[in-house]
Amino acid sequence: MAAHSLMASASDYPGGVLATFNDVIIVSINYRLGILGFFNIPGTKYKGNYGMLDQVLALKWVQANIASFGGDPNRVTIFGQSAGGISVSLQLISPLSKGPVSKSHYGRAAHLRRLFTVEKFLTRSS
């Protein structure tokens, strides 16, 4: 089972081709972007990373429902390219995504460990 996470739309990446030649189910998600997805004012009630939370909730939905489509909830793989690759990297270190994700693949994304440590990231985001 593969969950395909791209920025806002996956229409440029036809999942049907991948599904035709492999034993996978493609699920493409959308999530909030820009100010609606990543609005945060420290010291106020306006905190959060709603774009990433949208992804977490989508992953949990996939894990809870994919068996109804013939998928295996214990074999959820997420993919992302460019900004979607960064999202995949962040989901891999998020404690909220530990259950739903079993594998990942991303392309052309910066490796977060080069930017900062996981501990520093988690401190910044809390």
Kindly indicate the confidence band of residue 2, based on its pLDDT and cuts at 50, 70 and 90.
very low
Q: Are 30 and 3 in contact (CB under 8 A)?
A: no
Mean pLDDT of 56-83: 88
- The per-residue pLDDT for 68 is 96
Locate 52 and state its tokens: 């990433």
Burial 27-37 (b: 16+ CB within 10 A, else e): bbbebbeeeeb
- CB-CB neighbours of 119 under 10 Å: 8
Locate 76 and state its tokens: 């959820």
Q: What integer best gives the mean pLDDT of the chain?
A: 74
pLDDT tens-digit readout, 84-120 = 888 888 888 888 887 766 666 666 544 444 544 555 5
Mean pLDDT of 63-78: 89
